[in-house]
Structure 1
Amino acid sequence: MSKRIVAMGDGLWDLFPDGPRFGGATANFACHTSRLGGEVRMVSGVGKDDRGKDLLAVYRKYGVRTELVQELSNYPTGTVEVELAEGGMPTFTIGENAAWDHWQWNDEIERGVCSADALYFGTLGQRGESAKEGIRRALAIALERGIPRILDVNLRSPFFDDSLIRGSVAVCSVLKLSDEELDRVARACEIPSSESELERLKMIREKFGLRWVVMTEGAEGATLVLEKGSVRQPGAPAKVVDTVGAGDSFTAALTIGLLEESDPSEVLETACQVAAEVCSHAGAVPQ
């Protein structure tokens, strides 16, 4: 039987100079998790506009259930303006006051959360007060019922602060972050910067009583810290075409492995392999 995952947060379009591309960490995660065999319900908002219709169509194409995605007439579907500098380096401007900021908690979402095997959330998805309230209500239910709560921090400036980071870590059971995010997350959690990366991961896990803390390190692989120690996994070989969506695919594989109660070292190896596969294709979610 497929594991039921509720993914709460951002779904949007990245507006590149050559045209729009499906995006948003939560949306990417939802599609990757569905591709890996999970039964995924997306909780978010889209505008009653063409971009909203197109976004819903992409979810459905990948098998993501959309009955908990709210269509809102007062707010547009989310977008990110992408500008490419010399050398192809992108700069991103995340549109504010988007539909995914304004979805509202309701009985249907509550039923979806109560029947879930896991919840996924990030920090950007809590930018809007309405969405943040909904995510926190979902997490409270999940905490009470012992449902795993996967936090992929995905820090996006300027939409985070110490309080948001610390409050999110405090209510998750599995924390995933990148090596580039460790300093900021550790500081928010009042972990001494003098410690090594591994020690800081261990201290975060112990301080908040987390089941797993997982740090990705790009092509170098990933580290998983759990109660009985830690696991290190080198990166899988990949002919890199595009790294967009790789981290979200990693989290998807991590979530499925966690729910299937697979050996942590095998989960980490699979997650690195999945991310490497995504890097070898163009786009956040390969066809």
Structure 2
Amino acid sequence: MINKKIKVACFGEVLWDRFMDGNKRAGGAPFNVAYHLSKMGVEAYMISSVGDDSLGAELLEKIKNWNISTAGIQVSTQYPTSEVLATLDENNEAQYEIVEGVAWDYIDFLPSDNQNISMMDALVFGSLAARNKVSRNTLFELVEASTYNIFDINLRPPHVDVTQIKQLLHKTQLAKFNKAELRLILDFLGKSYQDEVDSIRFIQDTFGIMEVIVSKGSKGALYVCKDAIHNYPTIPITVKDTVGSGDSFLAGFISKRLEKNSTAQEIMSNAVSLGAFITAQQGACPDYSLTDFLSFSKKNQVYPIELDY
């Protein structure tokens, strides 16, 4: 029997990350997730918008060459393709300057997208793409059509609207935070921080979310579902840069989570391994093959560890 291919839609920003050395690389958190899902053998469907300009044409061509469908990427004649100035601090952590009034702020709702979403195994989205009313309205239409919503919180101040985040959390089946975002959401909710598990259980109870994952950088990652807590260490690597590391972690998680009969060990091992594999390379979307990744993963097995509190 041939296994049914997993299909995942990713909604939000596609853009060029521009670095201080003058180089530019395709990026945007939901697109980074789509890129790595495609590398994992998942059929990724990107819903976004680029400008009717040379940067947009170049971006679409690049995405096509990566064998990711551009059918869901609109071309705006009114707004330009997005460019983001990305810099790395002394800890190789990425900082972003995100310009407003760009094409992905104006992703129109199309009935065909709703129809496509209903046939997908999951919808991935973040909070940034909801900063403008047009894209926000489209996103809220899509989450209603999806049966498995994955909210990568991905807070980018000053583009943080607590009311919208709460509304989206109520529509979410799987939420992903980094540790700083987890604390920030607790502050928004007026809840004092005790420990990670207490915080996650509070969010699950408040919004009815079955699954939560927290990426903790060098401290590993945590996966909490209805009846179990899974804590995994990171894989020691030499950090090249951290641009897109959380996105690759999420893609590794999703690609295994949506496979039938996958265990928590397989899911988290895949997520932690892909995050480390990409962090050891340059850029959010480096060129690699599934064979390259599987070889790395096999050499760097990870297993759950006890929480230290």
CA distance in 2 between counterparts of 1:225 and 1:252 reads: 17
Q: Which residue of the partner structure matches residue 187 of structure 1?
A: 187
Partner of 2:8: 5
Give the AA of the match of 2:228.
G
Amino acid at match of 2:43: E
Aligned to 2:242: 243
Measured at CA, do residues 230 and 126 of structure 1 come closer, stay the same or move farther in structure 2, by a change above 3 Å? same
The 3-state SS of whatever aligns with 1:205 is: helix
Ranges of 4+ aligned residues in structure 1 off by more than 2 Å: 81-92
Aligned to 2:263: 263
Cα deviation digits, residues 145-183 of structure 1 (max 9, x gap): xx2111101100110121122122111100001011111
Match of 2:29 among 25, 29, 32: 25
Asked if the contact 2:11/2:48 (under 8 Å) is kept, the reply is yes
Gaps of 5+ in 1: none
Cα distance in structure 2, aligned partners of 1:117 and 1:88: 34
In 2, the alpha carbon distance for the partners of 1:61 and 1:33 equals 15
Q: What does residue 273 of structure 1 align with? A: 273
C-alpha deviation, 1:16, in angstroms: 1.6
Instruction: From the superposition, tell whether residues 88 and 34 of structure 1 become closer, same or farther in structure 2 (CA, over 3 Å).
Output: closer
- In the alignment, which residue of structure 2 is the partner of 1:148? 148
Does residue 81 of the first structure (1) align with residue 70 of the second (2)? no
Where do residues 1-287 of structure 1 align in structure 2 (5 Å cutoff)? 1-17=4-20, 18-82=22-86, 91-142=95-146, 147-188=147-188, 190=189, 192-261=191-260, 262-287=262-287
Aligned length: 282
Of 85-94 and 65-74, more deviation after overlay is shown by 85-94
**How far apart, in 2, do the equivalents of 1:191 and 1:216 lie?**
22
Distance (Å, rounded) in 1 between the aligned partners of 2:36 and 2:213: 18
Call closer, same or farther: CA 1:271–1:191 in 2, change over 3 Å: farther
Q: Matched residue of 2:151: which SS?
A: strand
Structure-2 separation of matches of 1:268 and 1:37: 17
User: 1:87 Cα deviation (Å)?
Assistant: 8.5
Confirm or deny: 8 A CA contact 1:205 1:226 kept in the other structure. no
| 1:68-101 Cα deviation digits (max 9, x unpaired) | 1000110000111235678877643201011001
User: In 1, distance between residues paired with 2:117 and 2:229?
Assistant: 30
Please provide the CA RMSD for this pair. Answer: 1.7
> 203-212 or 228-237: which moved more?
203-212
- Matches of 2:73 and 2:104, distance apart in 1: 9
Q: Residue 45 of structure 1: SS of its match in structure 2? A: strand
1:64 shift after superposition: 1.5
CA separation of 1:87/1:215 partners in 2, compared to 1, >3 Å: closer, same or farther?
closer
Q: Output the amino acid matched with 2:39.
A: R
CA 1:153–1:38 in structure 2 vs 1: closer, same or farther (change >3 Å)? same
The one-letter code of the counterpart of 2:60 is: L
Tell me which moved more, 85-94 or 4-13.
85-94
- In the TM superposition, residue 19 of structure 1 has moved relative to its aligned partner by 2.4
Contact 2:151 2:175 in 1 (8 A): yes
Q: Is the 8 A contact 1:60 1:66 kept in 2?
A: yes
Cα distance 1:113–1:87, how it changes in 2: closer, same or farther (>3 A)? closer
What TM-score comes out, normalization by structure 2 length?
0.87
- Supply the distance in 2 between the matched residues of 1:195 and 1:86 (Cα, whole angstroms): 30
Secondary structure at the residue paired with 1:66? Answer: coil
| CA distance 1:168–1:87, change in 2 (3 Å) | closer
Tell whether the 8 Å contact from 1:14 to 1:20 is kept in structure 2 after alignment: yes
